[in-house]
Structure 1
Amino acid sequence: MLSNFNRTGAVLIVGVALAGCHGKSDPSPENFVKAVQKHLDTIDAVCVDSGPLPFDLPHYSGSVGYQEGQADALVKVGLLSKEPTSVNQNGRAIPGFHYSATDEGKKASRPNNRMCGGKTQIQSITWSSSVPDNASVGTTVQIKYIAKLVERPHWDDEATLRKTHVEVLSTNDGTYNAENFLELTSDGWAVKPAWGTP
């Protein structure tokens, strides 16, 4: 019969062994979920291209050009304001509109002429490429997952925006499919930056 001391020691040894079986370097769904969520917590969920602000566009009577349609969609959702103006085109002034960021647009403005906001929560891993159980640092794995918008920007009206802004996230009841490459680092799994990003 084990003494109290020996029982405690046995429990500790089993606990350490189990912890070793489920370390942060293991290619497990739990570790992949943690890596993706850590990444999602640092980025905006929804982005739309705005172009350099402010800007003027000509307006041709009887038709709305594609650029004007894109800008008008941002006006509809409250990111841009629109005022009549004259636009110089080929040396002559023609009617047009001046677009500038609203207060909401200024809050949403990001580098590279984008407006962004919102947060995402990963729901589940749906697929991953094969990876050895004893993966070494530098090993990469491709994963696919389902995520859900948990903080949707109130300006993110897909029905209005996606007609002219195909870059806007498309969701179904707030959920969407996505994928990332993960890389094993000395501190566990992490989302691998896309080519050309820091």
Structure 2
Amino acid sequence: MKSLFIFFLLLVLALNFGCKHTDTIPVKVKLNLEKEYTKSLSKNDPWVRDQIEQQSLNVDADSVIVHYYDIKIEIENTGQRDIYVWLMTCSWYSNIKINNNYIYFYTRGCDSNFPGREKITPQSKITLNGTVRKNLKFDYPDENSIYGKEVEFTKVGLVTIDDIYKTNVEVVDYSLNMEDKSKHKVIWSNGIKLLSEKDQYQEEFD
């Protein structure tokens, strides 16, 4: 009787392990900082103006210094089958999340922009190059505001919305699934520290 109980216990554990393994998405996202620099922008620039107005920032000059970071995002298929991930042809950052509220994608205009599924073969990767910039509040804080502790590391997350193994997915499904946030599964990258110029380093990526 004891042997039978142990047999069924091992069977249940094996089945549970199998289910967890099946749910694992074989995708690895890596974030690299390529370059850091600053630009002077007029405080009448739309993005700058919104930052100042929404946060009541203290800006006396006609221009501000904005911190920019060129980044590289690698999306790797660590599995044994072809996978497909949705990316907009131009505004691919629409399919990427950032884990904090002080770093933003620097977006440029798009002449042609539509959703498509990028095929990634086993043990290969695709690379996305982009630019992010930092909230102005760190350099032009509102004198009457007290900012709480910030998220220390910046991470990016790839948004998946359907079966990554399916090849025949309609664009209409993309639009609906992007609207339905309950469909979203986010695969997060390693973190990089962008809060301080003097204390900037890359978190070890396992």
TM norm structure 1: 0.31
Which structure would you say has the larger Rg? 1
TM norm structure 2: 0.30
